Amino acid sequence: MQATPVQQDASRRYKSPRPDRKQLTRAGVIAVLLLFVLFGLPQLLSLYYIDTMTQVAVYSMVALGLGVLVGRVGLVSLGQVAVLAIGAWVAARLLFATTQPYPLVLLEAGLITMVLGVIIGLPALRLRGLYLALITLMLAGAITVVLATVNFPNGGHGFLGYNGSLVNIPPIRRPSIAASDPAYFRYSVVVAILMFALVLAHIKTRPGRAWAAIRQSEPAALAAGINTWLYKLWAFALASFITGVAGGVLAGAVHYLYSIGFPTQDSITLLAVVLMGGAYSMWGAVVAALLYQFLPALLNNWGVSADWLTILFGVGVLQVLTTAPAGLADQVPRDLARLGRFLRSRIRKAAPAPGGDAA
Amino acid sequence: MPSWQDFQPFIVSGLALGGVYALSGVGLIVLYRATGVLNLAFGALGAMGALITWSLIKAGVPDWLSWLACVVFAGAVTLGYGIIFGPALAKRDPLVKAVATIGLTLILYGLADLLWTTSGGQARSITFPTDNSGFMVGQVQVNWTQVIALAAGVVITVATGAFLRYTKLGTAMRAMANDRDITATLGVPVRKVEAAAWLGCGVLAGLAGLLLADLVALDATTLTFLVISSLAAVLIARLRSITITFIAAIVIGLLHDLLTPITALTNYRDMTPFVLAAVALLVLSRHQVMSQSREEA
């Protein structure tokens, strides 16, 4: 079989392992940024903001999972906060019941959440588009009601592990190497990095290409021989796993979990911020988490009502959907570049080169 | 197991709740069929309208004028949203259109929470003069508000059905539900028909908000997200039939309230709409055909 020019081009690019300068710079910037977040940030921030940033790390994972579903595969889920609650519940139960090392508990919480997500997602995936979004909202509503009744484990006995009394509740433990707040922040960032790497590994390989095909057109993907059912379920499983792990990190971060902290409507707000941050890029997940957790903390510190933020999110959703489908993570750099070009052209106009016409 | 006596009062309250769900469901379906927009801001519109009514009554405005204000507010805001964002999103996927109304929901919810603070605030309520007068059916007290709620559900369902069937505007809406482009080609003023659907949806949102504020609670969060329960009836009808919506709404309302006296299930009664909708959706989507058309599922 003769290779087409496109294939030749692709194979040539594949064979040259030397990354170009642009890629190297980008990797360097990310490395510096991560080192700063891990070692610089905890030194600079007060305890209040360190706790906030731990939440940002947790929710960047949740946003990442939703971003995979929405941005990569085109499945909209309105139930991710309920999935997060399941992950947190499982992790809390395991942490109270066993003395396993924390990373193992996180892995188990992720896997159990994944299994539950797949069981729930299996029938739901027969639906598409608006109907899928709405059934996830319905299931999230149902999960929230169940959680409100069974409560989160707080060191009690039995399968549910709920101790009815409200005094002497033991806190959910943290890993011994990350007992303090700054250390736990670093720990959660490392977990988040691992999750981002996991998603990156998926996007760069076969599942990522299959997802891209499904996002463009499901019938076309099916016609091209892609097992759309398998890859959609795979995306659901991956998102549930990541969200479950995030739930495990959240359990240790807050020490005490209450079902009132996971209302159904938060899933709706989460979708709004993920769309605002940008569902198509992984930076979008970080932006979304900052919008969702850091901004409220900042406003709270300034004494501004969080309601303004809710209004801002509403405006943001409308703005993103009507003018900027790729979200802030795409729009801001693009607009900055445009502004830069504009400013440069103005400067050039203001000081015309000798011999050049200023018209 | 509780006796029949224990269930009786909940039949009445369940029917009233079902009536309001039916009213909401019809408003949601009419808009969806005409414009392809599932208005998730339905609850938020009613919530803010009801809060405006509460403030007006407190300021001494006559009751009927305050009630009217709620309906007018919800209608005007919905119409405004429809005129501004309807055409801009007309060609997009139904999912995108629905998510855009989440934007409106968040704006209204944020405003309502900002202007009528919940934390530390006094409990608000709207009462109708019909709350205290009623009659007995057997041994059950029925108040006129509950009768109005159920009657509103029935009347709106029947009236909307007749409107869609027999009027010119209704026929145009049904045509748009089938195909917007062909309808436009046939000379139907598409934008005007859509505007009428938006207005109708908004007015029903205001009515539902007022009734729910009296029957359930006057609280921005509760009312805003009660739309999720109303959605269940619409989903069971697959966003199509207003008759099925009505029946589903009544069943959901009844079942929800009838679970109250059963001790083992009372905590789970709020799951009723979600479970029914999820099961119905899954059963109804058994035989699905994948197609390239815009109308999915």
Nearest CA to B74 among B246, B203, B212, B223?
B203
A95 phi, psi to nearest 5 deg? -70, -35
CA dist., res. A305 & res. A321, Å (int): 26
Q: Could you tell me which chain B residue has the CA closest to the CA of A314?
A: B103
Q: Where are the domains of chain B?
A: 4-284
Q: What percent of chain A has pLDDT over 90?
A: 15
For residue B63, the model assigns a pLDDT of 85
CA dist., res. A133 & res. B103, Å (int): 16
pLDDT at B132 over 80: no
B229-242: pLDDT as tens digits: 888 888 888 888 88
The residues in B 67-96 lying below 8 A from A, measured between CB atoms, are 85, 88-89, 92-96
**Is A315–B103 a contact, with Cβ atoms under 8 angstroms apart?**
yes
Check residues B51 and A354 and name the one with the higher pLDDT: B51
DSSP A316: H
For residue A7, the model assigns a pLDDT of 46
For residue B71, the model assigns a pLDDT of 93
B78 band by pLDDT with thresholds 50, 70 and 90: very high
**Is B296–A128 a contact, with Cβ atoms under 8 angstroms apart?**
yes
Nearest CA to B137 among B20, B7, B8?
B8
B58 alpha carbon, distance to own chain's centre: 26
Say which of B94, B231, B281 has its CB closest to residue A127. Answer: B281
Q: What share of chain A is helix, strand, coil (3-state, %, to 5)?
A: 75, 0, 25
Considering only CA atoms, give the Rg of chain A.
Answer: 23
A292 alpha carbon, distance to own chain's centre: 11
CA dist., res. B295 & res. B178, Å (int): 9
A101-140: pLDDT as tens digits: 888 989 999 999 999 988 887 877 777 788 888 888 888 8
Chain B residues with CB under 8 Å of A276 CB are none
The continuous run of DSSP H or E covering B134 comes out as: strand B134-137
B143 phi, psi to nearest 5 deg? -100, 160
CA dist., res. B169 & res. B33, Å (int): 13
Residue with tokens 């097992």: A227
Residue with tokens 């990373």: A103
A338-351: pLDDT as tens digits: 888 888 888 777 76
Chain A residues with CB under 8 Å of B113 CB are 305, 307, 310
Q: What percent of chain B has pLDDT over 70?
A: 94
Q: Topology of B4-284 in CATH?
A: ABC transporter involved in vitamin B12 uptake, BtuC (1.10.3470)
Average pLDDT rounded to a whole number, residues B58-64: 86
pLDDT at B170 over 80: yes
Which of A17-21, A110-114, A213-217 has the highest average model confidence (pLDDT)? A110-114
Does domain A44-162+170-345 sit in CATH 1.10.260? no
Average pLDDT rounded to a whole number, residues A212-231: 87
pLDDT at A181 over 50: yes
CA dist., res. A267 & res. A264, Å (int): 6
- Check: CB of residue A110 under 8 Å from CB of residue A87: yes
The residues in A 156-215 lying below 8 A from B, measured between CB atoms, are none
Weakest-pLDDT range from A324-338, B27-41, B185-199: A324-338
Asked whether the ipTM of the predicted complex exceeds the cut of 0.90, the reply is: no
This prediction's pTM: 0.84
DSSP A169: P
* CB of B31 less than 8 A from some CB of A: no
A243 band by pLDDT with thresholds 50, 70 and 90: very high
For the record, the structure tokens of B225 come out as 């997200």
CA B249-B251-B255 angle, to 5 degrees, is: 120
B92-108: pLDDT as tens digits: 888 888 889 999 999 99
pLDDT at A2 over 50: no
For residue A241, the model assigns a pLDDT of 95
**Is A307–B85 a contact, with Cβ atoms under 8 angstroms apart?**
no
Residue with tokens 């959907």: A321
Half-sphere exposure of B49 (CA within 13 A, CB side): 33
Q: Classify A100 as helix, strand or coil.
A: coil
Write down the mean pLDDT value for chain B.
Answer: 85
The residues in A 318-357 lying below 8 A from B, measured between CB atoms, are 318, 321-322
Average pLDDT rounded to a whole number, residues B33-59: 90
Average pLDDT rounded to a whole number, residues B202-221: 88
Indicate which of A120, A138, A275 best probes the interface with B, i.e. most B CBs within 10 Å of its own CB.
A138
